[in-house]
Amino acid sequence: MTTTMKKRLPPSSSPSIRQHFWLGLQLVLSLSVLVCVLALLRLNSQSQSSPAAFSPLRRPSSFSGPPKIAFLFLARSNLPLDFVWHAFFQNADEENYSIYIHSEPGFVFDESTTRSPFLYGRQLKNSVKVVWGESSMIQAERLLLATALDDPANQRFALISDSCVPLYNFSYIYSYLMSSSQSFVDSFLDKKEGRYNPKMSPAIPKDKWRKGSQWITLVRRHAEVVVADNVIFPTFKRYCKRQTELDFGRKQIINAAAQKQHDCIPDEHYVQTLLSMSELEDELERRTLTYTSWNQSSNDKEKQNWHPMTFEYADAGPQHIKEIRNINYVYYETEYRTEWCQCNATFVPCFLFARKFSRGAAMRLLNEGLVGPFDASTLLFSSS
């Protein structure tokens, strides 16, 4: 085009044509400058919305008194093991912890639903209906973190299930968590299962995809990253879904194989993947603090299935609990990684909590005095 223009515009051409030419050229130049500026702005906004550049929300940061652990309970309805946690908090200093419970919407913790006054009124007001294994579970976790962040004294955030018990007394767990400035997040490469859906790209590149236990303990700045995330969560909502039996109806029978490939359990990937995308993995102890005993059993389908074993009374004897407390490393098969459990460069026992405990097993644990001495008379036995 430039050559034809040159041909049509010899030096002898009339002033009006020349004027038009310069006007046109100016127009083209300013347009291209505009396009460049727009492109730059777009790049800039993209990098601002990338997870690596999340800016933590502005929240009050100064507080007086000791730093607190926020215990974040994820419950279906009540907390059946409230009596263990009651004994646990009885041996704590009130200014060292706070409690938040995400339960089903409308469920209130009071004298009619719990025997522990420590739990009264600790339920979130804005809880959501949680379907186990779906993204509503992550939503509940994020709500717990967001609520707990409102208290600037909360410096560690421990996610606890309703079948979970502490393996130590409060002061042990407090000094363990406070002696490290890292989060405890079980996180490893997910090589086998094909839960990563290529459609998540580019929001989530495959090399950042991680797997790990849902039961995490975060430091405050990582809790802020999780709450501020508005990129990874929507992608999970869309593409990380558990495939239920219903999904394999007539319509989708052809796609069944493809679908099965991306059977995805959001809470086993979300925080791990988000922190890896945020380049925060070197601020993690890459392991969970919550012990789970896995039982491999083959069910009706051809595939082998791992189930968390429930501790019954007989499984919670002193010897077994001692063995769990003595575990000092975890082996990660997909990475050939042996994680010697450390906390601020000191070797420590791996596990502070354990699940899943029946009431009987939890009662036995309590009677052994591991959680600390406890005064049964302070428990309200209104339900019995």
> Which residues here bind ligand NAG, judged by CB under 6 A?
66, 92-93, 96, 168-172, 174, 179-181, 295, 297, 309, 344, 372
The two counts, helices (H) then strands (E), for the chain are 11, 17
Per the structure block, which two tokens stand in for 23? 């006007």
Contacts of 314 (CB under 8 A, 6+ apart): none
Distance CA 117, CA 126 (A): 21
Q: Exposed/middle/buried for 236, CB within 10 Å: 0-12, 13-18, 19+?
A: buried
Q: How far is the CB of 374 from ligand NAG (least distance, A)?
A: 11
Per the structure block, which two tokens stand in for 285? 């102890």
Cβ-based nearer residue to ligand NAG, 55 or 304: 304
Q: How far is the CB of 291 from ligand NAG (least distance, A)?
A: 15
Distance CA 361, CA 383 (A): 19
3-state secondary structure of 308: strand
Cβ-based nearer residue to ligand NAG, 174 or 209: 174
Q: How far is the CB of 336 from ligand NAG (least distance, A)?
A: 27
Q: What b-and-e string marks burial along 309-343, b requiring 16 or more CB atoms within 10 Å of the CB?
A: eebeeebbeeeebeebbeeeebebeeeeeebebbb
Q: How far is the CB of 176 from ligand NAG (least distance, A)?
A: 10
Evaluate the omega torsion of the peptide bond into residue 166 and state whether it is cis, within 30 degrees of 0.
Answer: no
Q: Which of 372, 348, 327 is nearest to 180 (CA)?
A: 348
Cβ-based nearer residue to ligand NAG, 3 or 297: 297
Q: How far is the CB of 96 from ligand NAG (least distance, A)?
A: 4
Q: Which of 221, 129, 231, 227 is nearest to 181 (CA)?
A: 221
Q: Which of 164, 28, 25 is nearest to 85 (CA)?
A: 164
Cβ-based nearer residue to ligand NAG, 77 or 295: 295
Cβ-based nearer residue to ligand NAG, 73 or 168: 168
Cβ-based nearer residue to ligand NAG, 83 or 168: 168
Cβ-based nearer residue to ligand NAG, 226 or 352: 352
Cβ-based nearer residue to ligand NAG, 66 or 80: 66
Q: How far is the CB of 140 from ligand NAG (least distance, A)?
A: 27
Distance CA 176, CA 285 (A): 13
Q: How far is the CB of 348 from ligand NAG (least distance, A)?
A: 11
For residue 183, give the H/E element and its range.
strand 183-184
Q: How far is the CB of 258 from ligand NAG (least distance, A)?
A: 29
Q: How far is the CB of 208 from ligand NAG (least distance, A)?
A: 28
Distance CA 59, CA 53 (A): 18
Cβ-based nearer residue to ligand NAG, 128 or 309: 309
What are residue 295's DSSP bridge partners? 307
